Every structure is written in C-alpha cells, then in structure tokens.
Amino acid sequence: MKKTVCFGEIMYRLSPPGYTRFCQTQTLEATFGGGEANVSVSLANFGCDSVYVTKLPNNPIGDGAVNELRRYGVDVSHIARGGDRVGIYYLEKGASQRASKVVYDRKGSSISMAEKVDFDWERILTGADWFHFTGITPAISDSAANITMDACMFAKKMGLTVSCDLNYRKNLWKTDKAGEVMGALMPYTDLCIANEEDAGDVFGIHAKESDVSGGALSREGYMEVAEKLAARFGLKKVAITLRESLSASDNIWGAMYYDGSDYHFSRKYPVHIVDRVGSGDSFGAGLIYSLLEGAASCAAVEFAAAASCLQHSVEGDFNLVSVAEVMGLVKGGGSGRVQR
C-alpha cells in the first residue's frame, strides 16, 4: 500500500440547501473541505495509506473535522491541535446562469497561525511515497508558507515525489507575491497541476491565444503553457485541467498531462453538475494514485479525468468514489444505467 501525505487547511463548509441563496436559508449543510484534505480523502478511498496534516483547534468543531476525515479512512494521527478556530467557507450553489458563490471566513484559523514547531516532518514523512500541497496553503499566512517550504525540503531529502496544485486564490494574496512564494517552492516539485487560469495568475505564463472565460483555449495553448511551466522550473511533469463552462449547471471537463516528453489528452466529459467544488482536487488525487500505481501516462490522465468527472456528481468537496467506479467510467461507461 502506497503512503501519501497531504498538508493544508481543512475548513468548515457551510452551504444553504439545494439552490437556495444565503439570504433565504435558515439551515446550512455542514461538511468539511479544503484542497489538500479533498485529495487526502480521495487517496484513502482509492486504498492508499493517506495521511493528512493540518492544525485544528481543541474544540468540538475541530473534533468534527478530525472525525469527518477519519470516517473516510484518512490517518489523522499527525494533526496538530490548538489555536483558535476552524476556518469557514460559505458556499452558495449556483445554477444555470447564476454562478456559485464562495464567501471565505478563514482568517485566524489554527493552521494559519501554526508554527514550524507544530509539525515534525521527519517523523510524519517517514515511510511515505508522495507529498502533496496546493498553492492555497502558502497563501494563508507567511508562517504557513514557511511550514510548507519545510515540508517540501524534507520530502525532497527523504526521496518522496512532490506534487503541487497551483490553485491561485485571488482573495488570499496578490499575483506577484504568489509568483514569488510559489516560484520558490517549484524547485521541490515534481508534478505541477494547474487549471486553465492558474499558470497565468501565478507565474504570468499564458498561451499566445486564449479566451479562458469562454473555455476556448486550444489544445495547442494548453501544450504551450505546460511546456513553459516545465521549462521555467525544471518540472518533470505538468497536468492541466480543461473546463468549458457552459453554465453553472453544465460543463465540459477533460485534462491534459505532460509527462516530460509527450502530451496526453483525456476524453472530454459533458457533466451535469451536482457539486462542482473540489473537482480539481479529485483530478489531482486520481493522477497521484495512478502514477503511484505505475500507470502509463495515457492511462493516468484518463483515470484522473474520469475520477474528477464523477466528482462533479457527488455532493460535497470529497470525491467519494472507488477505483472500481472510476475504472468503470474509463472503460467506456458513463451511460448511467442503474447498477443492480
């Protein structure tokens, strides 16, 4: 069993039910989510020995986050406890032309106030094969950025593969700071994952011609961006997710994976969306799992794309699907016939 370690912030995800708006609701659906936690749960579902590292307060909300991760089989034994609060993200689901809306309330969370001393990376990473983080974690505070750097250095030294999902969040930092901090982390990174906008936002790397909001970036554009990313930072591998947003209800979803020599494009899936948040993370987890299992580049990107295709049909941040379900879709499924 492969062992993976993810580090980041898990938040309380509070969401009005169905398609009601914030101003209408008197109840909130309360789950947990966050980039790296989502990856961690996915990897546990896929059968990895999945460790998730963060800091959470010693109160019932912090306990709730731990319980939720544990429920899905994540190893929570390295989570530091203390600090003030669990960060929150309020999510209002969109539909048709009305976009989903996220209100962050994560300032002062325990992980944003954590210090290096909270994490003994040598111990945490012992026996692990892979370390994953996203661009959100270094963005939440300077201290979190330092801890991330720490983790990356240990991971490299201890021979782990390191992956990073750029995941630019404009409300957490500006593009120049993001470029600087993420640029310093790239040398430790083997696999860089990005969506259609991240490379541009963080590193100013654009394809020559693109119309991102329309989702009309050409195949050549994606290849160009991957190549530039790899070249600038000496990355071995780059993966880019491809989303065409027809509306908040319907998207077309696929991905490209550059393995250092070739470009592999996955099938494109027309998805009718149940819950869109965390789809990038489910792609990352699918790719990490596939590569850890020794899949060929082509198979790996198909697995990852299929996993994240399915995630669009699952409520919540977490991608609660099994390897068998993903493989079923890869092997030609998707017609959605009832499985009795």
CB of 164 to a second copy, least distance (A): 19
Does residue 208 touch a second copy according to CB under 8 A? Answer: no
Contact positions with a second copy (CB under 8 A) in 126-165 = none
Going by C-alpha positions, the residue among 99, 110, 101, 137 that lies closest to residue 247 is 99
**CB-based burial label for 340 (10 Å; 0-12, 13-18, 19+):** exposed
Of the residues 162, 207, 291, 321, which one makes contact with a second copy according to CB under 8 A:
321
Residue 261 found at the interface with a second copy (CB under 8 A): no
If one asks whether residue 4 binds a second copy (CB under 8 A), the answer comes out as no
Q: Which residues of 152-173 are buried (b: 16+ CB within 10 A; e: fewer)?
A: bebbbeeebbbbbbbbbbeebb
CB atoms under 10 Å from CB of 243, counted, come to: 21
C-alpha 172: how far from chain center: 16
Residue among 175 and 232 whose Cβ is closer to a second copy: 175
Instruction: State the Cα–Cα distance between residues 308 and 323, nearest whole angstrom.
Output: 12
* Residue 174 is a binding residue for a second copy (CB under 8 A): no
Nearest distance, CB of residue 237 and a second copy, angstroms: 26
Query: Which span (3-11, 23-31, 137-145, 218-226) binds a second copy, by CB under 8 A?
Result: 23-31
Site size for a second copy (CB under 8 A): 88
CB 17 to a second copy: min, Å: 8
Residue selected from 49, 81, 82, 94 as contacting a second copy according to rule CB under 8 A:
94
The residue within the footprint of a second copy, chosen from 149, 314, 323, 327 (CB under 8 A), is 314
Tokens of 7: 């580090």
Burial of 258 (0-12, 13-18, 19+ CB in 10 A): buried
Specify the residue, 22 or 150, whose C-beta has the smaller distance to a second copy: 22
Q: Is 268 in the site for a second copy (CB under 8 A)?
A: no
Piece of 143-151, 152-160, 202-210, 274-282 that binds a second copy (CB under 8 A): 274-282
How far apart CA 239 and CA 223 sit, in angstroms, is 10
64 binds a second copy (CB under 8 A): yes
Q: How far apart are CA 164 and CA 237, in angstroms?
A: 11
Name which position in 26, 117, 261, 324 contacts a second copy (CB under 8 A). Answer: 26
CB of 199 to a second copy, least distance (A): 17
Residues tagged active-site: 281
Which of 188, 16, 200 minimizes the C-alpha distance to 102?
Answer: 16
| Site stretch for a second copy (CB under 8 A), options 3-11, 94-102, 157-165, 284-292 | 94-102
Q: Does residue 215 bind a second copy (CB under 8 A)?
A: yes
Q: Are 304 and 283 in contact (CB under 8 A)?
A: yes
Question: Quick one: which segment of 59-67, 178-186, 200-208, 224-232 binds a second copy (CB under 8 A)?
Answer: 59-67
Among 120, 219, 250, 296, binds a second copy (CB under 8 A): 250
DSSP summary character for residue 144: H
* Nearest C-alpha neighbor of 212 from the set 172, 240, 234, 181: 240
